[in-house]
Structure 1
Amino acid sequence: MDTTIRRAQQADLPAIAALFDLYRQFYDQAPDPVRAQAFIQQRFANGESVLLVAQAAQGGLAGFCQLYPSFCSVEAMPIYVLYDLFVVPAARRSGAGRQLLQAAHAQAVADGKSRMDLTTARTNHAAQRLYASLGWTRDDVFLAYSLRTGTADVAPAGG
């Protein structure tokens, strides 16, 4: 499958939102196209993330990734958090995921980020192999923790 990686445009948002809803379902979330559309639209409109898309030669989107600007306090440097990476099942093993990750790396370099961080499910072995093949190193020193705030059912805030 021939794909082209590029920055997302306003016209891509409905297709990205559909992929984002599938991505959320991959991580055991109920389908919610309205929430997915609102979330993607808000991130794009507010300039809160960088969205890259894999454009299939046939015209549709084969996948996307989303980078969130953040900081590493220890390094005192800006970083990207690669939070979302999704390739449609029909395009998996086509190189689209690899291309998205390479484009994300190039974007991080261009934007002066010192590194990119990501997390993935322990059971997502295919993704782990892909990350390792591109030079990502697994953190075996630090543990990740989360704390729910009780607002999980609140729709994403705008602005």
Structure 2
Amino acid sequence: MERVIYDDLERLIPLFDEYRVFYGVVSDLDGAHAFLSDRLKLNESVIFIAVEGEGEEKRAWGFIQLYPSFSSVSMERLWILNDLYVTTELRGHGLGSKLLESAIAHALATNTKGLSLTTMTANVGAQRLYEAHGYIRDDDFYTYNLFF
């Protein structure tokens, strides 16, 4: 796994767009470029990417994106695991686990409380993956959203 830097952006954009389409939105490569460019330039997220090959032949197969946050109750930093995506060709081959391990290593290296995530209730495959890595589903709190 490699931590994404701005120079990796062109390799990440199609994968990020594929991820968004997976969640039912219309493809928007220009929007993906602008969004990811801003996150990296402003140091607002940490992204790890799974790549294979060298030079021009390098291909991205999956990524994980973390956003920094804080817990007021524990008064500690934490990371929001916002995005995890592996291309359909490589699902079930351990790539998601490797990406999760990169996120865990980053959270430990940055002395944070841990990682928090939300996933769709129907995404049973992702739930199994998270639980296999020690994530515990929260049955004590409800999630509410107010979107504009």
Same fold (TM over 0.5): yes
Q: Which residue of 2 aligns with 1:67?
A: 66
- The equivalent position to 1:45 in structure 2, one of 35, 41, 45, is 41
- Do 1:64 and 1:85's aligned partners in 2 also have CA atoms closer than 8 Å? yes
Q: Secondary structure at the match of 2:101?
A: helix
- The equivalent position to 1:17 in structure 2, one of 13, 17, 22, is 13
- Do 1:18 and 1:37's aligned partners in 2 also have CA atoms closer than 8 Å? no
Of structures 1 and 2, the one scoring higher in RCO (CA 8 A, sep 6+) is 1
Q: Which residue of 2 aligns with 1:101?
A: 100
- Do 1:63 and 1:96's aligned partners in 2 also have CA atoms closer than 8 Å? yes
Gaps of 5+ in 2: none
Q: Which residue of 1 aligns with 2:75?
A: 76
CA distance in 1, matches of 2:10, 2:122: 29
- Over the matched positions of the two proteins, sequence identity in percent amounts to 40
Deviations 1:52-89 (A, max 9, x none): 01112462111111100000111110000000111111
Deviations 1:102-138 (A, max 9, x none): 1100000001111100001111110000000000000
Q: How many angstroms does 1:98 deviate by?
A: 0.4
Gaps of 5+ in 1: 150-159
Q: Secondary structure at the match of 2:78?
A: strand
AA aligned to 2:66 is L
Count of matched residue pairs:
145
Q: Secondary structure at the match of 1:21?
A: helix
Q: Secondary structure at the match of 2:65?
A: strand
TM-score, with structure 1 as normaliser: 0.88
CA distance in 1, matches of 2:16, 2:71: 26
Which residues in structure 2 correspond to 1:123-134 (within 5 Å)?
123-134=122-133
AA aligned to 2:113 is S
CA distance in 2, matches of 1:10, 1:116: 24
Q: How many angstroms does 1:9 deviate by?
A: 2.2
CA distance in 1, matches of 2:119, 2:5: 26
